[in-house]
Structure 1
Amino acid sequence: MRSSTTTRTRTRTRSRLRLAGALAAVLVAAGVATGPVAQADERRGKEPTLADLAQRHGRYFGSATDNPELTDEPYKALLGSEFDQITPGNSMKWYATEPRQGVFDFSKGDEIVELARANHQKVRGHTLVWHSQLPGWLTSREWTASELRAVLKKHIQTVVRHYRGKIYAWDVVNEAFNEDGTYRETIFYRTLGPGYIADALRWAHQADPRAKLYLNDYNVEAIGPKSDAYHRLAKELKAQGVPLHGFGLQAHLALQYGYPATLEDNLRRFARLGLDTALTEVDVRMPLPATEEKLAQQADWYREMTEACLAVRRCVGITLWDYTDRYSWIPAVFPGEGAALPWDEDLRPKPAYFALREALK
C-alpha cells in the first residue's frame, strides 16, 4: 500500500506533468525548444527526439510498425524521425515469410528493412518460432519429430540468412511458457520437447553469428512464476553454452491490473546471468473512455518503466508496440480498451510522451 507521502508526491508530479506537458505541446507546436537538453539542441536546429535522448544513455528507443501503415505519410515521417529502431509487427512471422512449405516471401520484411536503412535505424527481427500466426500447411497435419525438426531448422536458417547483417537482434522463441511457468503446449513443444528452444537458438546463431538472440514473452515484467521459468531456462541454456544473448519483456500493461513493481529487480536478475534485456512491445492500455486521471496514471507508468530500464545497465532499449493509437492492436483484441500509446489517433503527443522525455532527460 502506498504511503500518504508517496501519494502526495505522485499527485504533485502528475500536476506538474500535465502543466509541463501542456506548455511543452504549445511551445513545440510553435517551434520553440524547451528545457536544458532542448536548448543545447537548438544549435542543431531541432529539439532532441526520444531516440536522441535515449542514445545519451546508451539505449535505443524504437517503435513497431506494419506494412499497411507505410502509405500514411505523416505517420511514416514521425516513425522515421523520432525513433532509432524498428520492429516489424507481422512481416517476419512464419505465415508471412514461408506461406507455403519451402516457398519463402521476404517482400514485406524487406520493405521494413529498407525503410529502417533509409532512416539509419536498427531492426529487431520478430519472430522466428511462435505458436501463433503459423501457416496452414504447418498446423494442418501431424509431423514426426524428425520431420518437424528439419522444417523448423530450414525455416529459421533461411530467414536469418536472408537478413544476415541487417537485423540487430531476433526474437528467436516467442511466448514459450504458460502463466504458471509450465511449457506452453505448442506444435513445437508437443512434437520436439523443450529442447526445441536450444536448437532454435543454435540454428539462428549458425545463420548469423553477429545477431543478438532473445527469448520474448508477455506478463514477465514482474518477478513471478512465468518470469521465474524464463530465469531458470536462461540459466540452464547459458550453462550449456547455448547462444542466448537477451530476454525480451513485452510490457503490454493495463491500468486495471496494476504496475509490475518488481520490474527493475527482474531486469537486474537477468543481467546477472550475463543477458541483455529489452522492453520489446510496450503499451499501457486502459478501459475507455480515457480520462485525464487515467492518462496521468499511464504517463507515470511509462516514466517508471523507462526509469527502470535506465537503472539497469544491460537493459539496452525500449520499443513501443507502434507509437500511435491510430494503429494500436488493443481495441480489436480487448474490446472497450485502448488509448494505449504515447501519441493519440491524430498523431498528437499525450502526457505519456512528455513523461518519456522527462524520464530520458
Structure 2
Amino acid sequence: MLLNLSTTYLFVVYPFLQSRVLCDTVLPFLLYLSSLLFFTFHNPFSSPFSLMTPRMQQDIPSYVLILFFLLIPTSLVSPLYDGPLYDFTAYTECKEKPEEPLYGGGVLKSEQQSPPAVQDNIVSSYVVNNIYVPSLVLHNLTQGTLYTFSAWVRVKGSSSAMIRATLETEKETYDCIGTVSAKLGCWSFLKGGFVLNWSSNLSIIFFQNADGKDINIEVASPSLQPFSKQQWEINQQYMINTKRKRAVTIHVSDNNGRRLQGASICIEQISKEFLFGSAIAHTILGNVPYQNWFVKRFNAAVFENELKWYATEPDEGKVNYTISDQMLQFVRTKNIVARGHNIFWEDPKYNPPWVLNLTGPQLQSAVNSRIQSLMSQYRNEFIHWDVSNEMLHFDFYEQRLGSDATLHFFETAHESDPLSTLFMNDFNVVETCSDVNSTVDAYISRIRELRRNGIFMDGIGLEGHFTIPNPPLIRAILDKLATLGLPIWLTEVDISKTIDTDSQGDYLEQVLREGFSHPSVNGIMLWTAYHPNGCYQMCLTDKNFKNLAAGDVVDKLLQEWKTGRVEGVTDVHGSYSFHGFLGEYTVTVNYGNRTTHSTFSLSRGQETEHFTITLSSNS
C-alpha cells in the first residue's frame, strides 16, 4: 500500500504539480489529503472511508507512516514550492566589507556578484531637496506583493548618520521602508521592506540622511526579494511548524517493560507554552462576564494603568495598592501570569503631578521610595517588569537625576526582584521606521549601553500600536533585534481606532501571525482592556462581551495554534507518534481492562520527544 501511494505520488501527482499555476490550488488539497490519510492509517474505525488492509497495522509501524507523510510536505516545499524561503539573516555590527546581498540580490541581481559591488550599475543618483542621494530604480512592482529589502550602507564626511530608505512611486511615497545607523569607515546593514497599495511601473528607492543634511552615502549589495501573499504564508507556517511545534512519540509498556501493541491513546493539550494575553483594567473586578470571556482565552495579563505611579500614589506619601492587589489576586486564582507595567514612565505627562515639582534630591528620595515600596509589595509576583517606560522618546528622570538614573532604576529593580525579567519598552520600534527616536538601531544601541554598564536588562519590549502594519518591515526589525539573543515580546498590540472594526481585525491578524511565526518572539500582549465607554484604541468585544472582528481573529488564531484532541492506537512497537504545539498535555491510555492517566510537557527542541507510559496490572 505504501509503495503504491509513493508510486502514485512520483509518477502522477508530482509531474502534474510542476505547473506553478496548478500548485497554488492543488498544494492545499494534497496537504489536506496527507493529513486525512495519516489519521485514517492510525484510526481505521474512525471513518467509513478506510484505506487500511487487514494486515497493514502489523506490516507498517507508525514511525514509517509518520516519516512518509513528513516527507510529502518536505518534497512539496522543495521541488514543488519553487518560491523563495525567507532569509532571517541580519547584522548589527559594522563590518569592514559588505556581505553578499541576500537572495543574491533578488530582482536587483547585478552581474558583479563577487565581491559585492559598491555604487554598482544598479545604483544611481536622485535629487531630494537639492541634494544628490544614491537611489535604485525599480520596474513593475505589483500591488499586494510583500517586498523584503536590504542593503549595506557607509557614510563619508560624518562619523555616523541615521540613513533612511524611502520608496517613491507614481502615486505615493512610502516615507520609510528601512533605516540604519551608518558609520564612517565601515559598512552597516539596513533591512526593511514594504507592501504597495497600487502597482507601479516605475519606482525609486533612495537613501538619505534622516535629519535632511547633506552627507556622502555609499550603498552596496542591495537586495529586493518579492513574496506573494501565499509564499509569505507558507514561510510563516513553516516557522510555526518548526519552532512552535514538536514531534512526539509515546511508548506504552507493561510492568515488565514489554511494549503493548493496540493500546488506545487519547491526548489533549491543556496549556500552551507560548504566552498570549491582554491588558486588563479594574473593570474586570466583579465583572463575571468579562472575567469568563478573558479566562477562556488568555494565559497572560498586564494591568493597563493600575500599577503605574500615578495610580498607586496620586498624592505624595499616600500609597494605595488596593486595586492592583485585587487584580493580582484575580489572575493568581486563574493561573494567569502577569507582566509588571511599569515602574517608571519617562514621559512627564504620565507621572504623578506632585512628582513634577520635586527638586533633584527630593526626586531621588521619591524615586527610591517608589522602587522600594512597589518591589517589596510585589516581589516574585510578576514575570516581567517594564522598568523605564518609553526611554527612547523621553528622559524626564535623566534630565533631573543625571545620565545614570536609568542604570540606577535597573540595578535597584534587579536587586529587589531578581527572578523577574527586566524590560525596556517603547513604541514605534516595530510599527514604523519613520520615528528617528526609536529606530531599531537606536533601540539596540540603548540596550548595549545598559549591558556594557552591567545592567540585567534581559527583555525587549515592543509596544505595537499599529495603524496599517507593514509585515516585511515588522519581520526585518525582529530579525535585527533577534541578533541580541534576548526574548522579544510584543507588549501592547492594537490597531488604531481610526481604522474601521473589520479592518482592525484584518490588520490584527497580520501582526499576530508575524509575531507568532518569528522564532525570537516569546509572547504577545494585546492592549485591549475593556471599558464601558470604549477601549484605548481597539476592543475585542462589545459591551455584552460578544466578539467584534478583532475578537473573532483572536479566537480563530487561538484555535489554530492549539493541538486538537488526538486519538490513536499503538503500533507493533507499542508506540504512537504525533506532532503538537508546545505546552502541557494529558494522555489517557486504555489496554484491555487497564487504564492510566499521565501528563507530559513539550518544550522547544529539534529532536523527537519520547515519553514512556507504564500500564501496571492493577491500573
TM interval, short-chain normalised: 0.7 to 0.9
Instruction: Call closer, same or farther: CA 1:67–1:94 in 2, change over 3 Å.
Output: same
Other-structure match for 1:250: 463
403, 408, 430: which one aligns with 1:221: 430
1:6-85 alignment, distance < 5 Å: 52=271, 55=272, 58-85=273-300
Is the Cα contact below 8 Å between 2:339 and 2:385 reproduced in 1?
Answer: yes
The Cα offsets for residues 130-175 of structure 1, whole Å up to 9 and x where unpaired, read as 1343222212x2412x432332122123201210111111111111
Instruction: Call closer, same or farther: CA 1:142–1:354 in 2, change over 3 Å.
Output: closer
Instruction: Call closer, same or farther: CA 1:352–1:204 in 2, change over 3 Å.
Output: same
- Number of aligned pairs? 300
The Cα offsets for residues 302-345 of structure 1, whole Å up to 9 and x where unpaired, read as 22222222233331111111255856443xxxxxxx5x233344
Q: Distance in 1 between matches of 2:409 and 2:464?
A: 24
Amino acid aligned to 1:250:
E
Q: Distance in 1 between matches of 2:389 and 2:535?
A: 18
335, 345, 355: which one aligns with 1:138: 355
Does residue 302 (structure 1) correspond to residue 504 (structure 2)? The answer is no
Amino acid aligned to 2:492:
E
Amino acid aligned to 1:64:
A
Rg larger in structure? 2
When normalised by structure 1's length, the TM-score is 0.73
419, 434, 448: which one aligns with 1:235: 448
251, 268, 277: which one aligns with 2:488: 277
Instruction: Call closer, same or farther: CA 1:116–1:76 in 2, change over 3 Å.
Output: same
How far apart are 1:300 and its partner, in Å?
Answer: 3.3
Is the Cα contact below 8 Å between 2:285 and 2:327 reproduced in 1?
Answer: no
Q: Distance in 1 between matches of 2:365 and 2:479?
A: 37
Does residue 205 (structure 1) correspond to residue 414 (structure 2)? The answer is yes
Amino acid aligned to 1:111:
Q
Instruction: Call closer, same or farther: CA 1:252–1:148 in 2, change over 3 Å.
Output: same
How far apart are 1:247 and its partner, in Å?
Answer: 1.6
Other-structure match for 2:371: 156
Instruction: Call closer, same or farther: CA 1:162–1:5 in 2, change over 3 Å.
Output: closer
Is the Cα contact below 8 Å between 1:214 and 1:246 reproduced in 2?
Answer: yes
Instruction: Call closer, same or farther: CA 1:344–1:134 in 2, change over 3 Å.
Output: same
SS at match of 2:522: strand
The Cα offsets for residues 181-212 of structure 1, whole Å up to 9 and x where unpaired, read as xxx252x1321233222211111101000001
SS at match of 1:262: helix
Q: Which runs of 5+ in 1 are unaligned?
A: 14-41, 179-183, 331-337
Q: Which runs of 5+ in 2 are unaligned?
A: 1-140, 147-196, 200-227, 233-265, 563-619
Q: Distance in 1 between matches of 2:311 and 2:497?
A: 31
Other-structure match for 1:313: 519
SS at match of 1:215: strand
Is the Cα contact below 8 Å between 2:342 and 2:388 reproduced in 1?
Answer: yes
Amino acid aligned to 1:237:
L
Stretch moving more, 315-324 or 238-247? 315-324
How far apart are 1:273 and its partner, in Å?
Answer: 1.3
Other-structure match for 2:322: 107
384, 392, 403: which one aligns with 1:194: 403
Considering fraction of residues, name the structure with more helix. Answer: 1
How far apart are 1:215 and its partner, in Å?
Answer: 1.0
How far apart are 1:4 and its partner, in Å?
Answer: 5.8
SS at match of 1:280: strand
Instruction: Call closer, same or farther: CA 1:43–1:276 in 2, change over 3 Å.
Output: closer
SS at match of 2:496: strand
Other-structure match for 1:341: 539
Other-structure match for 1:27: none
Amino acid aligned to 1:284:
I
Amino acid aligned to 1:76:
Q
SS at match of 2:350: coil
Q: Distance in 2 between matches of 1:95 and 1:5?
A: 45
The Cα offsets for residues 80-107 of structure 1, whole Å up to 9 and x where unpaired, read as 2211111111110101222333442111
Other-structure match for 1:265: 476
How far apart are 1:240 and its partner, in Å?
Answer: 2.3
Q: Distance in 2 between matches of 1:311 and 1:223?
A: 19
Is the Cα contact below 8 Å between 1:189 and 1:196 reproduced in 2?
Answer: yes
Other-structure match for 2:333: 118
SS at match of 2:428: coil
Instruction: Call closer, same or farther: CA 1:153–1:351 in 2, change over 3 Å.
Output: same
CA RMSD of aligned residues (A): 3.0
Other-structure match for 1:21: none
Percent identity over the alignment is 26
Amino acid aligned to 2:527:
W
Q: Distance in 2 between matches of 1:153 and 1:260?
A: 41
Q: Distance in 2 between matches of 1:237 and 1:157?
A: 21
When normalised by structure 2's length, the TM-score is 0.44
Q: Distance in 2 between matches of 1:260 and 1:323?
A: 25
Q: Distance in 1 between matches of 2:328 and 2:402?
A: 33
The Cα offsets for residues 57-76 of structure 1, whole Å up to 9 and x where unpaired, read as x3111111111342332112
Instruction: Call closer, same or farther: CA 1:198–1:153 in 2, change over 3 Å.
Output: same
The Cα offsets for residues 213-250 of structure 1, whole Å up to 9 and x where unpaired, read as 11111211146331332211001212222010112111
Instruction: Call closer, same or farther: CA 1:323–1:127 in 2, change over 3 Å.
Output: closer
Is the Cα contact below 8 Å between 1:259 and 1:301 reproduced in 2?
Answer: no
Greater relative contact order, per chain length (Cα 8 Å cut-off, separation 6+) = 2
Is the Cα contact below 8 Å between 2:431 and 2:464 reproduced in 1?
Answer: no
Q: Distance in 2 between matches of 1:202 and 1:2?
A: 50
SS at match of 2:285: helix
Other-structure match for 1:31: none
Instruction: Call closer, same or farther: CA 1:327–1:84 in 2, change over 3 Å.
Output: farther
